[in-house]
Structure formats: C-alpha cells, structure tokens
Chain A
Amino acid sequence: MMRVYVDINRCIGCRSCEVACKRVHGGKGHVNVHISEDRASVPLFCHHCEEAACTMACYSGALTKDGERTSFSLDKCTGCGLCRLACPFGVVWTDKLAHKCDLCAPNETPTCVLTCPAQALSNDYELALKRARARAGRATILGGKR
C-alpha cells in the first residue's frame, strides 16, 4: 500500500482532507493543513517512514512496520504519548489513545485522496513521479520564471 503523496502546487488549502479524515475516523482526524507564509498550503500526515521513529519508541507493540505501511493496533495502545513525541514530523496524535494515518485500510483508496477537490493528493506513485517530472520540466523551460 502506497503512502499518500502531496503535490503542493495543486493544494488550494481548502482543508477538505482534514474534515473528511476526521469524519471517517470517528471524529479523530490525522491530517493537518499548514499554511506557509500565506502563499502555499501543505497537508501533513504520516509518511509511513521506512525507518519509523514512532515504532522504535513504542514499547507496547502497538506501532509496527507492516511492509511499506506503519501499522497501528488500537488494542495494544496504552496512550503513553511516546509515539507523539517520537515522530519527527509531529503527525502522530494522541487523544487518550494514539491515532495516525492508517491509509484508510482496508479501502483501496484513502478518503483524503478521493475527496481532494484539486486532486493534490494521490496514492499513485507513478502519477506523483510524472507530476514531479512535469514540474521540473516546466521550471527548466521557463528558466525559473513563471
């Protein structure tokens, strides 16, 4: 299961991903949109890191690596808060117990990807790669100018 890729060029800062994630996770959303200098917005959520600091800090076995995904089992969580402090990106939340992006498993496509009005979120690696290349290409052609 791929993680969710963000195309910051496309993000319009509407926060639909936040509201949708919260809605499908019983009121506990794990996306946060940060606005940068009133010029861009970035939705932030679990990167499903290869070397996941949160799994290293977790002593109860609630957070583990399951292939590419950083997996979380609610029933093992004690709510200690170590994972929240261990995440370098601040994208593990605790509200009594921990919660973070679970890629909306077992659904094929995460809710945020489906709902994003601007199609800024994608779990399609090939698409993310294609977009990155296109941006680089355009930047080269325009000589760094818009």
Chain B
Amino acid sequence: MIQVDANKCLGCFACSNICPNQFITREEEEGKRRTIRWSKCKEECDICVEFCPAKALTLIPYSDSTPEVIEVSFDLVPCEVCKKGFATEPLLKRIRETVPSNLQTDSTGRSWVEICPFCRRELEAEMASKQVVQSRRK
C-alpha cells in the first residue's frame, strides 16, 4: 500500500487521474483549498508511484494498523490579478525550478508564474491588442 511523503507532494493531479481502482481522490474547494486522499489499498500495482512527478509516493507492505485514508491538503495560492486560488505552492515552486528564470517574466518584466492561466490569457490579449484598441478609441 501507499506511503505519502507530504513534504514532497506537489498537490498535482497525476496520481488521482491514474489510479486504476480510484483509490486516490481529490477534492477542491474552488479557489481556496485542495485535498488529496489516498485510501488504504491492497493493490501492488505501483502505477501511482511510477508516475508521481515528485517521487513522493512509495509502496510499503500492507498493514492493518495503518490509517484507512491518508490526506494531504494545500491552500491554493491566489492569482496576483484575480485573487482566486489557482495552484499549490509546491507546484509553483516546481515551475520556477524547471523553467529557466529568463523565461519566467514577460516582455514587460512581469513574472507570470503567480498569475492564473485565465488572467495570463487576458494579459496576453491586452498586450497584443493595445494598438488596435487605441486606434479604435478614436
């Protein structure tokens, strides 16, 4: 069965998507908090272990004394623009680590990592259409 290293867990969607027996679920209070739950499982398939991007999961022998459900919760980091929580801090940290720092800012020098995808699109649209909007404002 599964052991979770809560310090490594990113709060992503991989294991909850991938578990063939749906023993892993996730719950989200939209814009606020995300919780991932691993139910005690007797399977030895290790698919979730293999596909965890953070290697936070390990397979340990089944025992009656371990808890029925393991839970890890994250507060969602609010988007700088719309203030709605959109990602866990470990996920954003991972992005900052894997994307070169010179790519982490847009042409105006603003960091986009702490902005949610919807607002990123809005900003892109705004920047791309600036001239056209101006010329149409008489």
Whether A and B touch (Cβ < 8 Å) is answered with: yes
CA distance A90 to B12 in the complex (A): 17
A82 touches B53 (CB 8 A): yes
Partner of A82, one of B95, B100, B126, B137: B95
A85 touches B121 (CB 8 A): no
A97 touches B129 (CB 8 A): no
Residues of A within 8 A of B13 (CB): 79-81, 94
CA distance A40 to B122 in the complex (A): 12
A39 touches B18 (CB 8 A): no
Chain A CB within 8 A of B59 CB: no
Chain B CB within 8 A of A37 CB: yes
Mask, B89-132, CB within 8 Å of A = 1, is: 00110110011100110100000110011111110111011001
A51 touches B103 (CB 8 A): yes
A86 touches B126 (CB 8 A): no
Instruction: Determine the interface band of chain B, counting residues with CB < 8 A from chain A.
Output: 35 or more
22 pairs, A vs B, C-beta closer than 8 Å? A34-B121, A34-B124, A36-B125, A36-B133, A37-B133, A39-B132, A40-B129, A41-B129, A42-B128, A44-B121, A56-B100, A57-B95, A59-B53, A80-B12, A81-B91, A82-B91, A82-B95, A85-B113, A85-B117, A86-B98, A89-B120, A96-B17
- Which positions in B face A, CB cutoff 8 Å? 10, 12-14, 17-18, 51, 53, 87, 91-92, 94-95, 98-100, 103-104, 106, 112-113, 116-122, 124-126, 128-129, 132-133, 135-137
- Which positions in A face B, CB cutoff 8 Å? 6, 8-9, 32, 34-37, 39-42, 44, 51, 53, 56-57, 59-60, 78-82, 84-92, 94, 96-97, 146
